[in-house]
């Protein structure tokens, strides 16, 4: 029931940010959000090592145990709470067989910069809200992660209890900036600053999205997501 409640709130956020969103637009934005949030394991771990671990006075071994597992925790949250088809199916926006392929044709994308900004700000609020983080902690301590028959590491529950919330807030503050994320998707133009998540070299044309930055997308036509290397995705 808790998961359905989260999905419902996420759908309402999408509906309020986008006027009459289509299944295609819903899946597109949420799939790109999910991929973008789970493609920077090395960068996130390094940031936590340089900042969070130093502030907590953790030694290198403790830091590897604590910060090294945070990307896996974030993956679980994004996969469970922000699954594109589950969110978009929840209110019947998509049927169960719709859009198994994620469409990235620029000519068909009707989401504008302001809509993307509004939606990403709502998502960021859910990622950093205290009650939502309570639910993330419960999720991580469940069979989805720490409660597996073979836990991912010793002391998993204790580390989630003691460190997850602070690591998560530190990462969201540094990493997830709504407007800059929309810039990285090619929906907004970056007129003011360089995005943490934006690609370093990007070329955009109808039906194409190409970047050389690790962890970003490369597409040449609508198609399926395929992993080509750790931290990189290609759609072809």
Domain that holds residue 164: 2-197
Contact 222, 207 (CB under 8 A): yes
- Is residue 153 included in any domain, yes or no? yes
Res 207: pLDDT: 31
- Is residue 220 included in any domain, yes or no? no
The residue with greater pLDDT, 188 or 221, is: 188
Nearest-angstrom CA–CA distance, 141 and 125: 22
Contact 217, 226 (CB under 8 A): no
Task: State yes or no: pLDDT of 194 exceeds 70.
Answer: no
Nearest-angstrom CA–CA distance, 226 and 233: 6
- Is residue 166 included in any domain, yes or no? yes
How many structural domains is the chain composed of?
A: 1
Query: Alpha carbon 95 to chain centroid distance?
Result: 23
- Is residue 235 included in any domain, yes or no? no
Helical ranges in 129-225 per DSSP H: 130-141, 156-159, 165-175, 178-184
Please tell me the number of Cα atoms within 13 Å of 61 on its side-chain side: 0
- Is residue 146 included in any domain, yes or no? yes
Mean pLDDT of 19-44: 81
Q: Following CA atoms 78, 79, 85, 87 in sequence, which dihedral angle do they give, to the nearest 10 degrees?
A: -50
- Is residue 221 included in any domain, yes or no? no
What's the predicted TM-score (pTM) here? 0.69
Res 109: pLDDT: 53
Nearest-angstrom CA–CA distance, 5 and 10: 9
- Is residue 209 included in any domain, yes or no? no
**CA distances (Å), 71 to each of 27, 40, 65, 66, in order?**
23, 8, 12, 10
């Amino acid at each position: 029931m808790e998961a359905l409640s989260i999905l419902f709130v996420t759908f309402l956020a999408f509906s309020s940010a986008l006027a009459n969103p289509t299944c295609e637009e819903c899946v597109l934005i949420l799939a790109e959000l999910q991929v973008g949030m789970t493609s920077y394991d090395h960068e996130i771990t390094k940031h936590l090592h340089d900042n969070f671990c130093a502030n907590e006075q953790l030694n290198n071994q403790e830091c590897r145990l604590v910060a090294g597992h945070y990307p896996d925790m974030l993956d679980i949250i994004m996969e469970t709470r922000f699954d594109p088809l589950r969110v978009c199916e929840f209110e019947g926006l998509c049927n169960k067989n719709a859009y198994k392929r994620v469409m990235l044709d620029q000519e068909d994308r009707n989401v504008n910069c302001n809509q993307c900004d509004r939606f990403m700000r709502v998502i960021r609020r859910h990622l950093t809200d205290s009650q939502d983080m309570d639910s993330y902690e419960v999720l991580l301590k469940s069979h989805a992660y720490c409660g597996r028959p073979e836990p991912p590491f010793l002391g998993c529950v204790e580390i989630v209890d003691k460190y997850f919330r602070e690591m998560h807030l530190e990462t969201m503050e540094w990493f997830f900036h709504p407007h800059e994320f929309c810039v990285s998707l090619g929906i907004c133009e970056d007129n003011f600053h360089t995005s943490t998540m934006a690609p370093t070299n990007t070329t955009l044309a109808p039906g194409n999205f190409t970047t050389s930055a690790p962890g970003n997308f490369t597409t040449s036509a609508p198609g399926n997501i395929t992993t080509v290397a750790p931290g990189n995705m290609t759609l072809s």
